[in-house]
């Protein structure tokens, strides 16, 4: 299959591109490099340094592809609160430009990178795809809900096949966000540099961590599906943040102090997924245990620190 990956020079996009190539797909990466890195574009993939705002050129870039995996988005929650219009333009309007470009280019299949944030505060655990969407506490989450709605509309109006993947908490090597807002890379970097580890809520918040290679495989697993589909992508295991920190300390072989940051507005006490639906549809399940994934992540960050 010929697949175009938007945001393919990023943390998750580069992993998805690698898996696509390993499985024999023909891959084009489209990225404006505002958040991605040229070095993360996988060998063997075509690369277009371009922006989804380029409505004139977009259909030409898309034409001839069988599917699009759409991951080009801003993700920093704090920035979304400070600059909601920037997030709406980049995450919602640019996604709509992509959908229109696909329609004009005759590309009829989309896999969209969404988020478990769309559920808000869950009414029950584990979270299932049939659970209601919640009120959003920040523009980032609102941008995912809005884009999901537009994707569903294009399915209804134009028959576009669309798979919406709701990620839980991805982690792993090659995460190079600046500023870094995700928990595990911040924990690992602090431990390696022997700084205090930043921790909210005394580490009692529960999250579902999914290793990036497992997450990447989910994107290729759904390429053969038709219609409008929604899937949770998680490990189906909830882990307290403090237990993640303790595991990292065990891996590095020492402990550093905890930087107690107290409570944080907008945090959900606990989230973890049921991924039974995608397992039934495709056979996909998360395979990398948290300990193994953390060991790989620590090794990567240590290697990066050694090059600095």
The model's pLDDT over 248-273, given as tens digits with 9 standing for 90+, comes to 999 999 999 999 999 887 788 999 99
User: Does residue 255 fall inside a structural domain?
Assistant: no
Q: What is the pLDDT of residue 307?
A: 58
Residue 9 CA to residue 30 CA, distance in Å, equals 8
Q: What is the pLDDT of residue 182?
A: 84
Q: By the 8 A CB rule, do 111 and 65 touch?
A: no
- Rounded average pLDDT over 190-204: 95
Q: CATH code at 12?
A: 3.40.50.720
- Rounded average pLDDT over 154-179: 93
Q: What is the pLDDT of residue 176?
A: 80
Q: By the 8 A CB rule, do 9 and 33 touch?
A: yes
Q: What is the pLDDT of residue 88?
A: 96
Mean pLDDT of the chain: 95
User: Does residue 197 fall inside a structural domain?
Assistant: no
User: Does residue 301 fall inside a structural domain?
Assistant: no
Q: What is the pLDDT of residue 90?
A: 96
User: Does residue 126 fall inside a structural domain?
Assistant: yes
Residues marked active site are found at 140
User: Does residue 305 fall inside a structural domain?
Assistant: no
The pLDDT of residue 181 is above 90 = no
pLDDT band at 304 (very low <50, low <70, confident <90, very high): confident
Q: Out of 12-16, 30-34, 135-139, pick the least confident.
A: 135-139
- Rounded average pLDDT over 25-34: 97
User: Does residue 202 fall inside a structural domain?
Assistant: no
Longest Cα separation, the chain: 57
Q: Which residue has the higher pLDDT, 12 or 268?
A: 12
Q: Percent of the chain at pLDDT above 90?
A: 90
Q: By the 8 A CB rule, do 228 and 273 touch?
A: no
pLDDT band at 178 (very low <50, low <70, confident <90, very high): confident
How far, rounded to the nearest angstrom, does the alpha carbon of residue 182 sit from its chain's CA centroid? 11
User: Does residue 152 fall inside a structural domain?
Assistant: yes
User: Does residue 287 fall inside a structural domain?
Assistant: no
Angle between helices 241-252 and 290-307 (to 10 degrees): 60
Residues 274, 278, 281, 287: what is their CA dihedral angle, to the nearest 10 degrees?
A: -100
Domain around 160 = 2-171+210-234
Q: What is the pLDDT of residue 79?
A: 87
- Rounded average pLDDT over 80-102: 96
Residue 175 CA to residue 50 CA, distance in Å, equals 22
| Bridge partners (DSSP) listed for residue 259 | 198
Q: What is the pTM of this model?
A: 0.95
Domain count within the chain: 1
Peptide bond before residue 145 is cis, with ω within 30 degrees of 0: no
Peptide bond before residue 126 is cis, with ω within 30 degrees of 0: yes
Q: What is the pLDDT of residue 165?
A: 98
């Amino acid at each position: 299959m010929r697949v175009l990956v938007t945001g393919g020079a990023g943390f998750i996009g580069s992993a998805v591109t690698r898996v696509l190539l390993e499985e024999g797909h023909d891959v084009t990466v489209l990225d404006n490099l505002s958040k991605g890195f040229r070095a993360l574009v996988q060998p063997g993939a075509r690369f277009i340094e371009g922006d989804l705002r380029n409505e004139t050129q977009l259909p030409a870039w898309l034409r001839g592809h069988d599917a699009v995996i759409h991951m080009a988005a801003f993700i920093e929650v704090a920035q979304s609160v400070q600059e909601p219009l920037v997030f709406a333009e980049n995450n919602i309007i640019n996604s709509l430009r992509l959908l229109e470009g696909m329609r004009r280019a005759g590309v009829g299949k989309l896999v969209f990178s969404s988020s478990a944030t769309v559920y808000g505060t869950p009414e029950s655990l584990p979270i299932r795809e049939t659970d209601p969407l919640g009120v959003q506490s920040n523009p980032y989450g609102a941008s995912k809900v809005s884009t999901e709605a537009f994707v569903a509309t294009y399915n209804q109006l134009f028959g576009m096949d669309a798979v919406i993947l709701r990620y839980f908490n991805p982690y792993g090597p090659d995460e190079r966000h600046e500023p870094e807002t995700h928990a595990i890379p911040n924990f690992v970097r602090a431990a390696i540099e022997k700084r205090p580890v930043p921790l909210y809520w005394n580490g009692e918040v529960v999250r579902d961590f999914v290793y990036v290679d497992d997450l990447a495989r989910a994107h290729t697993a759904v390429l053969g599906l038709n219609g409008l589909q929604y899937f949770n992508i998680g490990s189906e295991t909830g882990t307290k943040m403090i237990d993640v920190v303790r595991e990292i300390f065990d891996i590095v072989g020492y402990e550093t102090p905890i930087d107690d940051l107290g409570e944080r507005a907008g945090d959900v006490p606990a989230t973890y997924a049921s991924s039974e639906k995608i397992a039934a549809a495709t056979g996909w399940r998360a395979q990398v245990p948290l300990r193994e994934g953390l060991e790989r992540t620590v090794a990567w960050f240590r290697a990066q620190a050694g090059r600095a």
